Amino acid sequence: MRPRAPRGVLPGALGLALCCLCGALGPWRSRSHLSAKANIGDHGWKKLIMVHHWPTTVCKEIENACSDPPDYWTIHGLWPDKSEECNRSWHFNLEEIKDLLPDMKIYWPDVTHPPNHSHFWKHEWEKHGTCAAQLDVLNSQKKYFGKSLDLYKELSLNSMLQKLGIKPSINYYQISDIKDALASVYGVIPKVQCLPPRQGEEVQTIGQIELCLTKDLQLRNCTEHGEPRSRRWGDAWPARATDEGPGLEVCEDGPAFYPPPKETNH
C-alpha cells in the first residue's frame, strides 16, 4: 500500500489542483486544546517545516544501509525552524501513538532500519516534536504525529508531482522548473534539497522537498525576501548521527537527477 497519483493529466490540472488544495487549507488552522504536558516555553521558532524525502536518494546517501525503499515520497519530519530538543525530559512513548502505527509505517518509515521504525520516530519527537508542542494542536505525541500525517496527506506531494509531470527519470530536471511548478500549485515557494554530485557524477540528486507553514498551519514561503539562503540546516537522515560529511544542501540552480527506484525482485 502506498500513495498513488490519478492516471492522466487534464489541461486544467494545475488550476484544479490549486482549487482543491485551497479547499483543504481551511482545516489546517490550530484549535484550542488542553495545555501542553510540559512547560516548553517559547524557543523562538517562527515557522514549521513539513519535510518530505525521496527514499531512493536516502539509500544512495546512506549507501548500503537500506534496501527496497518505497517508490513514493515519505515523511522526514515536521520541524520548527531554529529550535531543537526543547524538553529533554519528555521522552518518546510508542504506546501513545499505537493507533497511528499502520499509517506511520507506510508514510513515515525509517527506510534504513526496517522493520524497526521506532528509533527514527523517537529521534523526531525528542528533537523536533518537543518544540512543536508549543502549539496546542501539537502538544502531545499523538497530536504531533497525527497532525503530521494529516498534513502529509492534505499536501499530497506525490500526487502533485505526478500531475505536474515531474516523475523519477533518467533525464534531468531544472531545479527552477520544479520550484516554479510547485509554487504554481501550493502558492508558496518551497525549498528543494539535493545531494551534491560525487566523483564521477554529472549533476546533483534531488533528495528532499520542504513546504513551510505558519504557527496556525497555513502555507507560507520557506524563505523570506532578503533572507540569506542557508546551505545546510536541519536533520540528519536516519542512519546518520550528525550532519557532518557529504549530505543534503539547498539545490543549486541548474540540472538535477530525480532517480527512479531501483528494481527489486519479490
pTM of the model as a whole: 0.79
Distance of CA 253 to the CA centre of its chain: 21
Instruction: Note the pLDDT tens digit of each residue in 90-128.
Output: 999 999 999 999 999 999 999 887 777 799 999 999 999
Contact yes or no for 209/190 (Cβ under 8 A): yes
Cα end-to-end distance, the chain, whole Å? 15
pLDDT, residue 199, reads: 85
With a pLDDT cut of 70, the percent of the chain lying above it is 73
pLDDT, residue 25, reads: 41
Can you tell me the distance from the alpha carbon of 207 to that of 201, in angstroms, rounded to the nearest whole number? 15
Angle between helices 13-25 and 175-186 (to 10 degrees): 60
Residues forming the active site? 76, 124, 128
For 210-233, what is the mean pLDDT? 78
The region that residue 36 occupies, defined by phi over 0 for left and psi between -120 and 50 for alpha, beta otherwise, is beta
Q: Is the pLDDT of residue 228 over 70?
A: no
Does domain 44-257 fall under CATH 3.90.730.10? My reply is yes
Q: Is the pLDDT of residue 221 over 60?
A: yes
Q: Is the pLDDT of residue 36 over 50?
A: no
Q: Is the pLDDT of residue 159 over 60?
A: yes
Can you tell me the distance from the alpha carbon of 256 to that of 245, in angstroms, rounded to the nearest whole number? 20
Can you tell me the distance from the alpha carbon of 211 to that of 197, in angstroms, rounded to the nearest whole number? 24
Q: Where are the domains of the chain?
A: 44-257
Q: Is the pLDDT of residue 11 over 60?
A: no
For 2-24, what is the mean pLDDT? 42
Q: Secondary structure of 73-137 in the HEC alphabet? A: CEEEEEEECCCCCCCCCCCCCHHHHHHHHHHHHHHCCCCCCCCCCHHHHHHHHHHHHHHHCCCHH
Q: Is the pLDDT of residue 151 over 50?
A: yes
Residue found by looking up cell 482545516 in the block? 27
Can you tell me the distance from the alpha carbon of 148 to that of 154, in angstroms, rounded to the nearest whole number? 10
For 256-266, what is the mean pLDDT? 75
pLDDT, residue 35, reads: 38
Instruction: Note the pLDDT tens digit of each residue in 61-87.
Output: 876 667 688 999 999 999 999 789 999
User: 65 Cβ partners below 8 Å, 6+ apart?
Assistant: 59, 112, 113, 239
